[in-house]
Amino acid sequence: MRVCDILKERDFVLSFEFFPPKKKGDDRAFWDTIEELKRWKPDFVSVTYGAGGSTHDKSIDLALALHNRGFCVVAHLTSISLSRKQVKETLDVLKKGGIENILALRGDMPQDESFVIPEDAFRYAYQLVEFIKAHYDFCVGVAGYPEGHIEAPSREKDIEYLKLKVDKGAEFVITQLFFDNRFFFEFLELAERAGIKVPIIPGIMPITSYNQIVRFTKLCGATIPEKLLSLIESLKDKPDELKKAGIEYTINQCRQLIDAGVRYLHFYTLNKSPATNIILEALGLER
């Protein structure tokens, strides 16, 4: 099913993000996580695509495997590492396999200094969106950044880039993680002023470890609110207490979003089920 139709038709939309297992031995744990989270009947699941295309084959295989297990799948596709021929070949495989949804991304630049961008690569996400919509019938989503992309000169300029992606055919937006809902609501206001009318889905990352939250916020530029930062720093040597407090924080964050009328939640599961299960149980989102 197409995500754009799901977002129109359903009162509340729940989705999960997964990434290809990094080690062969992780496959069993991954599918165990899928089984544990299946109880929530997610409206769709997404499958990430590694920096520089590092998980190209694994990402495609996983997207197709989840589709074959009955999930509505959004396959991530990053363009910076692929020639236009490779983009087309990838889209052809996904289309043939029954995938109907793509999250079109430029992709993060790999840290490997030897990495070379193909001469004819799509260097911006809007170019990838435009190509997909011109040649295929996929429902296309894009990323949004409540605090602005780390490379953008300002939040306002970043909204201009988002508007361009929507004008080229993007039909929904999934946001980067954030820990202060104020940024998300301001993002919605900026998007509305810019004339962006497609659904904007908040991306939620459960807080389960000190190193995890510090690492991810450095990578994406998300702000850790002072109160939360003080809390996790005080508990960084008490992992069980930190996980409990972090999950409670995420529960409250989700409650505030739902109480404000937000109809969608997209969880960055990190291929683990316990934290997401606890949060959804607390929110009473059993279906």
Burial of 11 (0-12, 13-18, 19+ CB in 10 A): exposed
Q: What is the DSSP string of 196-215?
A: --S-EEEEE-----HHHHHH
Q: How many residues does the chain have?
A: 287
Q: Which residue has the tokens 């908040």?
A: 202
Count of C-beta atoms within a 10 Å radius of residue 141: 28
* CB burial string 50-76: b at 16+ within 10 A, e below: bbbbbbbebbbebbbebbeeebbbbbb
The tokens for 250 are 């995420």
The catalytic residues are 17
- What DSSP state is assigned to residue 24? G
Q: What phi, psi does 191 have (nearest 5°)?
A: -65, -45
* CB burial string 189-207: b at 16+ within 10 A, e below: ebbeeeebebbbbbbbbbb
